[in-house]
Amino acid sequence: MKKPPKRSALGKGPANPRVVALVYDGLCTFEYGIAVEMFGLARPEFDRWYSFASCAIERGPLRAAGGLRVQADGGLELLSQAGTIVVPGWRSVDAAPPTALLEALRTAHKRGARLLSFCSGVFVLAATGLLDGQTATTHWRYADALAARYPRIRIEPDVLYVDEGSVLTSAGSAAAIDLSLHLIRRDYGPRIANQVARRAVVPTHRDGGQAQFIPAPLPEQGVALGRLLEWMRRRLDQPLPLAELAERARMSERTFLRRFEEATGCSPKQWLTQERLARARELLEGSQWPVERIADACGYGSADTLRHHFRRVLKVSPARYRERFAQVAQ
């Protein structure tokens, strides 16, 4: 008789694994599908996982993009059971969320539930007032409207997601995957997040921000710059001065800076910081190297410099990051 496949033991996980996604008339089908894929899909390979439900915020009929009609598991009463609530987009940035929904979200948050918004769903969270004084993001097309309507929110328009602890926001539609994987990493650790990403055939980490997706002319030297970026990735532990990079790209420094920003959305210095931080995160998660050795391997030269960049960009120390995300021994 065939033995059943061994199930992966998970970390402690969230105190309340119940995930509830909002359903509304005009539902953003793609964003809702991401919530289902990340949190609602059956995962028999794990010994436990999230439990998932959909919550209708209003009486039907509830229509979704693409000509679909949706029937939810229940109404707003489901939010009282949720440990995590997902707002999968919103029907319009100009549509005011129902008062009953806003009250239910505030109550759930006060009770300890985490609130996640995908793309335009941030307008629902903003309307609760829970983002006042916090940092948030949304699709780059909506950033100006969000800033004008809710001036007490600090808008980060060029990032894929923002984690403020109990309130998390993501950028354009596909960035919902990045935010979801981030939360899975928080709850169950990087090994499990990697398995979920592999099953979905997506990268566990995407570097960079939304600037790379804003329409811009394709630079003629795009292929050559692509090869240069790979060359730079293999040498993150080495000094990579601008003059050397421009010479390898066969451009003047001024032209190189302009072409590089057109291709990546950031300067060479910013790109290197992102890549070195990504490499440092990998080493903190998957190795027992001391911080000093990781700093050398990533081109920072000293542990103090690595700590500075970690705190500036990730708002956490390398030691705290390792404690939070280090690989669970198998």
End-to-end CA separation in angstroms for the chain: 26
Helix (H, G, I), strand (E, B) or coil at 54: strand
Per-residue pLDDT at 23: 98
Per-residue pLDDT at 56: 97
Contact 72, 62 (CB under 8 A): yes
Report the distance separating Cα 252 and Cα 117, nearest Å. Answer: 43
pTM: 0.66
Per-residue pLDDT at 229: 87
Per-residue pLDDT at 96: 96
- Number of other CB atoms surrounding residue 253 within 10 Å: 13
Buried b (16+ CB within 10 A) or exposed e, 193-229: bbbbbeebeeebbbebbbeebeeeeebebeebbeebe
Per-residue pLDDT at 78: 97
Per-residue pLDDT at 286: 81
Report the distance separating Cα 226 and Cα 145, nearest Å. Answer: 34
Among 78, 83, 139, 152, residue whose Cα is nearest residue 115: 83
What does each of the 330 residues of the chain score in pLDDT, given as a tens digit?
A: 434 444 544 557 899 999 999 999 999 999 999 999 999 999 988 888 999 999 999 997 899 999 999 999 999 999 999 999 999 999 999 999 999 999 999 999 999 999 999 999 999 999 999 999 999 999 989 999 999 999 999 998 888 899 999 999 999 888 999 999 989 988 998 888 888 988 887 766 665 555 434 443 334 445 567 788 889 999 999 999 999 999 998 899 999 998 888 777 789 998 999 889 888 988 998 888 999 999 999 999 899 999 998 888 878 889 988 887 764 433
Report the distance separating Cα 272 and Cα 270, nearest Å. Answer: 5
Q: Give residue 19's identity as a one-letter amino acid code.
A: V
